[in-house]
Amino acid sequence: MTFAVQLLTIFPDFFTSPLSTSLMGKAIERGIFEVDAFDIREFATDKHRTTDDVPYGGGAGMVMKCEPTVAALEAAAAARPGLTRIYMTPQGEPFTQKIAQELAAGPGMVLLCGRYEGVDYRVREGWIDREICVGDFVLTGGEPAALVVLNAVTRLLPGVLGNAASIDEESFSSGMLEYPHYTRPREFRGREVPEVLLSGHHARIDAWRLEQSLLRTQAVRPDLLERAAEEE
Ligand code: JA8
């Protein structure tokens, strides 16, 4: 079964180029997954096609209105029922490789992208299954966050990547950062490839790589090691 992705946005053009290039474009061409964009503005019924309004209670910014947003969600559900409905927001659960794996199990996902101060809270309560945050920073809208989720999930679908081995050896699947990688030449502008990698001694190479992973993880992401220890 084809994995289905529905994008709900007031800027559908945002996704055109990323979806047509490279691995994702090829996977769509080959029918591994399909992407449908729903322009939320087209579901606004007033003459100005209004999608946002001032917040009740006052304050800065605008809030995306219930009616067009829910109409777009309902049109998406009519076209493809049963998909996981996801709202991109800094208030969501942190996106991880584990969540990417859960979503890749199918059948697909609806990615709702907000702008301004986000969507009316009633949309989140009534029409959303999961709220996801791609990092502790603020974007101008949910679109770049949706691209991150789309990319991380679809690369896990069978047939998107060349070989399965390259999927689970990576950072976050092992719970540690990757060791350094090198290719030819042996020396570049005075910088040498570590001798052990030229030795052909596979046990020593594995031990070196494990040590490098540990050192880098300790230095940059000690939280990953603490999490691994807790899970033991
Ligand atoms: C934002 Br506006 C807006 C909407 C969604 C997201 S997800 C994130 N990190 N920032 C900003």
**For the segment 164-205, what is each residue's pLDDT rounded down to a tens digit?**
546 654 556 679 999 999 999 999 999 999 999 999 999 999
DSSP class of residue 43 equals G
Q: What predicted TM-score, i.e. pTM, was given to this entire model?
A: 0.94
Sole residue written with tokens 């990688």: 181
Higher confidence at residue 228 or residue 108? 108
| Amino acid making up residue 65 | K
Q: Round the average pLDDT of the chain to a whole number and report it.
A: 94
Contacts of 34 (CB under 8 A, 6+ apart): 2, 3, 4, 5, 28
Segment 48-55 mean pLDDT: 98
Segment 118-137 mean pLDDT: 98
Ligand 1 centroid to Cα of residue 112, in Å, is: 11
Ligand 1 centroid to Cα of residue 145, in Å, is: 7
Highest mean pLDDT range out of 22-26, 96-100, 227-231?
A: 96-100
Ligand 1 neighbour 142 (Cβ under 6 A): yes
Ligand 1 neighbour 90 (Cβ under 6 A): yes
Name the CATH superfamily housing domain 171-231: tRNA(m1g37)methyltransferase, domain 2 (1.10.1270.20)
The matching CATH number, chosen from 3.40.50.300, 3.40.640.10, 3.40.1280.10, 3.90.1150.10, for 3-154 is: 3.40.1280.10
d(CA 107, CA 83): 6
Domain with CATH 3.40.1280.10 in the chain: 3-154
Domain with CATH 1.10.1270.20 in the chain: 171-231
Ligand 1 neighbour 145 (Cβ under 6 A): yes
d(CA 73, CA 111): 10
| pLDDT at site 228 | 81
